[in-house]
Amino acid sequence: MEHDAISAGVSKIGGLFSTADVRILICYILSSINKPINGTMLCEVLHAEGIANIFEVSDSLAFLTESGHIIEHDDGTFTVNDSGRHVANTLNTNLSSIVKDRAYAAVLKMLIRIRNAKETDFKISREDDRIFLTCSALDQDRPFMSIKLMLSDEDQAIFIKNKFLENTSKIYSTLLEMLTKD
């Protein structure tokens, strides 16, 4: 296999080193998710997971757009068209299932965080030299659940905020179950 992709920051285990494989993976992800995905975030997620270099993903998005396999929208999101779906269906066996599964899971997690960010509100405040984080789950911009925590520092507040974003519905359902259980 020819290693023609930029490999800086890519994991030796489960990373893609072929430009063609990066392009196939992008078509596969867009086809599987079947929702508009922000290009910058896709680049960052695949890079953070050690699957593909951020520059390689960005170049592949541009190539796939120019070649008519994917569509770039005005808001910076991308969707796949029939040509890109055909690439994904025909060539996805070139990719290891580990890479496909990791990429798919990472993109889903990113989309959940984006949705949760729209449905949550966070406030970090200081009261008497103490730091508080208030996490609120929203329904039509109104909080239906808020949790206020006293924390040791702002780094801990940011860490907990990120965990809340990843697990908002689980936190809510677990709390509700604990409060209503006999």
- Looking at residue 6, its pLDDT comes to 47
CA torsion sign for 51, 88, 26, 32 is negative
Identify the CATH number of the domain in which residue 54 sits: 1.10.10
Note whether 163 and 101 are same-domain residues: no
- What mean pLDDT is reported for the chain? 87
Number of domains, the chain: 2
Q: Which of 93, 113, 133 is the last residue of a domain?
A: 113
The answer to whether residue 108 sits within a structural domain is yes
Neighbours of 13 (CB within 10 A): 8
The answer to whether residue 9 sits within a structural domain is no
Tokens 């951020």 map to which residue? 54
pTM surpassing 0.75? Answer: no
The answer to whether residue 46 sits within a structural domain is yes
d(CA 55, CA 48): 12
Residue predicted with more confidence, 79 or 2: 79
Note whether 37 and 95 are same-domain residues: yes
Q: What is the domain extent for residue 133? A: 119-180
